[in-house]
Amino acid sequence: MRPVLMALILFGSAFVAAQDMNIDRSGESPIEAKFAPSGKVRVDVCPGAIKLVGVDDSALRVSFNPERDSVHVRLNIRGDRADLRVTGCPHNNFQVRIEVPKSSSLYFRMFAGQLDVYDITGDKDIEVTFGQLNIDAGKAENYASVDASVNSGSIDANPFDIHKGGLFRSFDHSGSGKYRLHAHVAAGQIEIR
């Protein structure tokens, strides 16, 4: 029994080590790497129109349009944690699509633009300085805690029956679910669907 247990431990360690990856590229799209479901994804993206989509796959993919040599993608994966940074984005009509496993937990930061989040069931910690944040959150009962705020702008959160606009607007919600949602836009709009 002991040799079997030792073999399983060694195999598991080799599997985790094989998941570690560093990608550092400019101007190439798409970029793809294997990534564990239910992992934690940290994203920092330059301004643009960003779509963050949950998929039924054990991979993390980044694609952008138009392809430019100035766009730099750095992706570091360590076990169940991924750090993604996209810099050098052009100023006009730049679009990025990021695909992660549906059950991923997100930590996302962006200076300006529009972020659309679809089909991601894990925790979400999302902040945009200037722009619009649209989150497909699903059912209110899936969440243990929700907080959303704008310094200047509006919050529309249909699953929580919240509609507010003006300066320094926010709302908090506690429930029996297991997920956490934090959304903040300094100036702009939050729409939670």
Give the start-to-end residue ranges of the domains of the chain: 22-192
Please state, in angstroms and rounded to a whole number, the distance separating the CA atoms of residues 126 and 138.
16
Per residue of the chain (193 residues), give pLDDT as tens. 555 444 444 444 434 434 688 898 888 889 999 998 999 999 999 999 999 999 999 999 999 988 778 899 999 999 999 999 999 988 888 899 999 999 999 999 999 999 999 999 999 999 999 999 999 998 999 999 999 999 999 999 999 999 999 999 999 999 999 999 999 999 999 999 9
Please state, in angstroms and rounded to a whole number, the distance separating the CA atoms of residues 46 and 54.
20
Please state, in angstroms and rounded to a whole number, the distance separating the CA atoms of residues 183 and 189.
10
Please state, in angstroms and rounded to a whole number, the distance separating the CA atoms of residues 63 and 115.
15
**C-alpha dist (Å) from residue 119 to 27, 40, 86, 156, 174:** 28, 15, 22, 19, 21
pTM: 0.86
CB 62 within 8 A of CB 86: yes
Q: How big is the chain by its Cα radius of gyration, in Å?
A: 18
Which residue matches tokens 């360690």?
Answer: 13
Q: How far apart are the first and last CA of the chain?
A: 52
